[in-house]
């Protein structure tokens, strides 16, 4: 369809891409570069921008849910069709972070944490080769609600705060790295990233004056090191931070085990709808059980105002995404 002045674009839409490069970063990380001319329209401010990947079925095909109808359909339209497909026809759809975007080259990078072949996304990434196709759902810079400023799917929201706490596991490492690369020297604070092994400590450039701590898990339980590190941080800084944040009553974007209401245990997702007003902000993402425990510790244990913290359960141990 030819573009006209009246054409409108949904905030997110589907991009047909192919694998241009595969780079093994470490024992558990692989960076996949997706390319297509159409990605020149991919709109994002970077940071923790999330996207959806339509993982092909075992025979390499995807069901037709109208993703490429013109004009591009709003998300609820194709998503409803996708949800209603019989189990055996529905492909897996998984959430990832855009690690880097180069619209001028029509490319985006995604860093996959490899956790074995039991997950369709991890299995796909382990076997990915140049030329493999991937449909990516992401923002369109021509959309009135998208764009390269602040598109949907970005939760990083520090407002005026320049003292930070960033924490997450390997699935949050791509977002944390992209966020850190965007910060200048005004920012201070602490960063904790738990990764499976010492080999997974990735090179990272930031101008921010933060203390960066990579935690190599080894044989320990998932989340144990991250939890202990945040507790140690809390003993040193918790009282001061709690004293400087104030309780207030504002509406939250909350999706939690207790409040999903449909009997399904949705991972915790609690992000303040407004930027914090103070000088301190925290962003925590990773395995839902770990993040739920850290929320309890920071909010109930230390008394930190939750309106200064974004908590995101990115995945849940023992449960496939969306199940
Ligand atoms: C906003 C957002 C951004 C994300 N960004 C990234 C990203 O950039 N890179 C990235 O690697 N992941 C990212 N994730 C996490 C990713 O979506 C999940 O790990 C997802 O479950 C992987 O899908 P899968 O098909 O491999 O496994 P699934 O089919 O969903 O799960 C299969 C099994 O594997 C387990 N499992 C899932 N993930 C892991 C893991 N990492 N380690 C150990 N066991 C696991 C599940 O508990 C389940 O038992 C993000 C998630 C969200 C919500």
pLDDT confidence bin for 11, thresholds 50/70/90: confident
Q: Can you give the pLDDT at residue 267?
A: 75
Distance CA(192)–CA(229), nearest Å, equals 7
12 in Cβ contact with 146 (< 8 Å): yes
54 in Cβ contact with 123 (< 8 Å): no
Residues 192-247 have pLDDT tens digits of 999 999 999 999 999 999 999 999 999 999 999 999 999 999 999 999 899 877 54
Residues 302-318 have pLDDT tens digits of 999 999 999 999 999 99
State the CB neighbour count (10 A cutoff) for residue 175: 28
Asked if residue 97 has its Cβ within 6 Å of ligand 1, the reply is: yes
Q: Which two tokens stand for residue 247?
A: 């309780």
Q: Whose CA is nearest to atom 4 of ligand 1?
A: 96
Distance CA(238)–CA(52), nearest Å, equals 36
With CA atoms as reference, report the closest residue to 41 among 77, 7, 79, 80.
7
Is the model's pLDDT at 281 over the cut of 60? yes
pLDDT confidence bin for 70, thresholds 50/70/90: confident
**Beta-carbon contacts of residue 64 (< 8 Å; ≥ 6 apart):** none
Q: Whose CA is nearest to atom 44 of ligand 1?
A: 115
Q: Can you give the pLDDT at residue 144?
A: 75
Q: Can you give the pLDDT at residue 246?
A: 55
Asked if residue 108 has its Cβ within 6 Å of ligand 1, the reply is: no
Domains and CATH numbers, the chain: 12-139 (2.40.30.10), 163-315 (3.40.50.80)
Token pair 């902000």 is at which residue? 281
Residues 81-124 have pLDDT tens digits of 999 999 999 999 999 999 999 999 999 999 999 999 999 999 99
Q: Which two tokens stand for residue 262?
A: 């449909």
Q: Can you give the pLDDT at residue 174?
A: 98
């Amino acid at each position: 369809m030819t573009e006209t002045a009246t054409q409108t674009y949904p905030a997110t839409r589907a991009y047909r891409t192919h694998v241009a490069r595969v780079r093994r970063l470490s024992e558990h990380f692989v960076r996949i570069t997706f390319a297509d001319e159409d990605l020149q329209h991919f709109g994002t401010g970077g940071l923790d921008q999330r996207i959806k990947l339509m993982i092909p079925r075992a025979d390499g095909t995807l069901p037709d849910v109208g993703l490429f109808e013109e004009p591009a359909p709003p998300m609820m339209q194709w998503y409803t069709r996708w949800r209603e497909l019989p189990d055996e026809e529905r492909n897996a759809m998984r959430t990832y972070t855009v690690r880097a975007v180069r619209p001028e080259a029509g490319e985006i990078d995604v860093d996959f944490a490899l956790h074995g072949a039991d997950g369709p996304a991890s299995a796909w990434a382990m076997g990915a080769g140049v030329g493999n196709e991937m449909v990516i759902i992401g923002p369109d810079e021509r959309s009135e609600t998208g764009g390269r400023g602040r598109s949907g799917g970005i939760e990083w929201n520090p407002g005026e705060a320049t003292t930070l706490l960033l924490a997450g596991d390997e699935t949050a490492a791509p977002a944390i790295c992209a966020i850190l690369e965007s910060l200048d020297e005004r920012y201070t604070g602490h960063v904790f990233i738990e990764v499976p092994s010492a080999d997974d400590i990735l090179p990272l450039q930031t101008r921010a004056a933060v203390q960066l701590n990579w935690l190599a898990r080894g044989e320990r339980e998932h989340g144990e090191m991250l939890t202990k590190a945040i507790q140690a941080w809390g003993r040193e800084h918790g009282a001061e931070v709690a004293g400087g944040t104030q309780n207030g009553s504002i509406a939250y974007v909350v999706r939690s085990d207790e409040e999903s209401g449909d009997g399904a245990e949705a991972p915790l997702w609690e992000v303040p709808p407004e930027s914090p007003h103070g000088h301190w902000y925290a962003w925590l993402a990773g395995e839902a059980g770990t993040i739920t425990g850290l929320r309890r510790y920071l909010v109930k244990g230390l008394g930190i105002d939750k309106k200064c913290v974004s908590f995101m359960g990115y995945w849940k141990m023992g449960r496939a995404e969306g199940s």
